[in-house]
């Protein structure tokens, strides 16, 4: 892996990837292992920024993902899954979803009923990115360019990205993996539908008095949003509270101990007393639905949050991104010998392959977020009855969980 240093350097390769998150790194590794030359454009490091030390036990990352079987299969094929620190990976054996009110409905999904070893795996963002970074160090034909991209040119021959300072990166295919506010998407004039949920995901980690037994808990609380407690190794859980903005403001002002007290009514019966993990860390992320009108443009493919942003209540935003990468790699690998990597037909096959999966996840998460955000009593009764009914229909439950797992 090399990094050009000349201020007027021109880098040429098969694939250029804009982004520096787990999805961008996975795409770079996948194309590299498929024999393509890859250039990653990453933003300049912030002044004073430093990489976390590998020495000693690191604090638990509040940014965690519930990775499904699609993600597991892709990362395993790239030899990344085995490089994760497995002592910090927690299998999800079952999921308990609870409604709200005195006659709350509930439904449970479990790995045994789905005929799998685990429904999902909880992985910290840091653990995942460290494993990907380690793999990229040994990946052939991967070039990292640090700089700020300012303009894209596309032609029948490929894409050219101009960076501040005069650097350019030429490629046959440009991949936008630069998040929900994608610069690449904007440069391609791809329109989008945007709607704020007027909620923020408040995330923090706790120790729990009772063992969680690999169960992921979720409570739909109506006016107070959606609360999820995801299992971490040992007696630890990770909170994801999709809270209305006003409540999120309050939660961010309070201490993590006060946050634990708020959770006690929901969690204490099943998990016992919750205590903040040290050092205490609480973060929040705004929630919105983002639907780009296309996930491709001439010589350009979007993946991850650049291609779609969904409500986190199902925990599948990252999984959609891994499925994007898997399908893009498949479309490129299956192209005819006379077609370039960024050929319009290759990109059209990628877009078609992802259309249904993305639409279904957007439809389901948006519909559930709307359904469970109202406090109207008839709606509350109907949704609780629906949860109870679903719990009594094993065939439908199996179909739902199989799709969610990416099987």
The residues pairing with 204 across neighbouring beta strands, listed in sequence order, are 239
Q: How far is CA 241 from CA 11, 33, 52, 259, in A?
A: 43, 38, 26, 10
User: Same domain for 111 and 222?
Assistant: yes
For the segment 343-357, the average pLDDT, to the nearest whole number, is 97
Q: pLDDT value at position 10?
A: 80
pTM attached to this predicted model: 0.89
Model confidence at 81: pLDDT above 70: yes
Distance between CA atoms of 42 and 6, rounded to whole angstroms?
A: 16
| Same domain flag for 152 and 177 | yes
pLDDT reading at 404 higher than 90:
no
CATH of the domain at 260: 3.30.9.10
What is the domain extent for residue 19? Answer: 10-44+128-193+288-368
Of 114, 116, 119, 69, give the one whose Cα is nearest residue 395: 114
Q: Is residue 56 part of a domain?
A: no
Cα–Cα distance for residue pair 181/306, rounded to 1 Å: 7
CA distance linking residue 158 with residue 164, whole number of Å? 20
Same domain flag for 134 and 35: yes
Contact call for residues 197 and 38 (beta carbons, < 8 A): no
Task: Give the torsion sign (CA, 394, 399, 404, 407).
Answer: positive
Residues 177 and 213 in one domain: no
User: pLDDT tens digits for 361-376?
Assistant: 888 888 777 666 665 5
Which whole number is the average pLDDT over 120-124? 97
> How many structural domains comprise the chain?
2
Q: Could you give the CA distance from residue 49 to residue 273 in angstroms, rounded to a whole number?
A: 36
Helix axes 317-333, 69-77, angle to 10 degrees: 50
The number of residues making up the chain comes to 407
With CA atoms as reference, report the closest residue to 269 among 87, 104, 385: 104
For residues 274 and 338, state if they share a domain.
no
* Residue 272's pLDDT band (cuts 50, 70, 90): very high
**Residues linked to residue 143 through DSSP beta bridges, in sequence order:** 2, 39
329 and 235 share one domain: no
- 352 and 206 inside one domain: no
Tell me, yes or no, whether 27 lies in a domain: yes
């Amino acid at each position: 892996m090399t990094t050009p240093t000349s201020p007027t350097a021109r880098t040429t390769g098969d694939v250029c990837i804009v982004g520096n998150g787990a999805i961008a790194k996975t795409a770079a590794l996948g194309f590299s292992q498929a024999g393509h030359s890859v250039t990653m454009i990453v933003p300049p490091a912030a002044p004073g920024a430093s990489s976390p030390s590998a020495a000693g036990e690191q604090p638990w990352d509040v940014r965690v993902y519930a990775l499904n079987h699609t993600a597991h299969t892709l990362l395993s094929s790239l030899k990344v899954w085995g490089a994760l620190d497995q002592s910090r990976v927690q299998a999800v054996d079952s999921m308990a979803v609870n409604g709200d009110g005195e006659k709350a409905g509930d439904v449970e999904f479990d790995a045994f009923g789905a005929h799998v070893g685990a429904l999902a795996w909880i992985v910290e963002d840091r653990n995942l990115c460290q494993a990907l970074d380690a793999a990229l160090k040994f990946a052939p034909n991967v070039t990292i360019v640090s700089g700020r991209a300012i303009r894209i040119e596309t032609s029948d021959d490929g894409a050219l990205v101009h960076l501040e300072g005069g650097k350019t990166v030429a490629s046959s295919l440009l991949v936008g993996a630069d998040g929900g506010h994608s610069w690449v998407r904007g440069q391609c004039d791809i329109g989008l539908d945007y709607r704020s949920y007027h909620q923020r995901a408040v995330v923090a980690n706790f120790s729990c008095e009772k063992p969680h037994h690999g169960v992921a808990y979720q409570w739909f609380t109506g006016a107070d949003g959606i609360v999820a407690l995801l299992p971490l190794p040992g007696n630890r859980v990770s909170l994801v509270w999709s809270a209305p903005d006003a409540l999120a403001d309050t939660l961010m002002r309070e201490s993590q101990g006060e946050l634990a007290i708020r959770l006690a009514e929901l969690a204490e019966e099943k998990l016992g007393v919750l205590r903040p993990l040290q050092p205490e860390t609480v973060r929040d992320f705004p929630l919105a639905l983002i639907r780009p009108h296309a996930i491709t443009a001439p010589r350009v493919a979007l993946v991850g949050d650049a291609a779609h942003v969904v409500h986190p209540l199902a925990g599948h935003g990252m999984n959609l991104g891994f499925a994007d990468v898997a399908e893009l790699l498949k479309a490129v690998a299956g192209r005819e010998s006379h077609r370039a990597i960024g050929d319009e037909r290759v990109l059209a096959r990628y877009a078609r392959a992802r259309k249904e999966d993305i639409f279904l996840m957007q439809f389901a998460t948006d519909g559930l977020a709307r359904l469970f955000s109202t406090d109207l009593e008839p709606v509350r009764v109907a949704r609780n009855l629906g949860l109870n009914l679903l719990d009594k229909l094993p065939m439908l439950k199996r179909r739902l969980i199989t799709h969610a797992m990416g099987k």
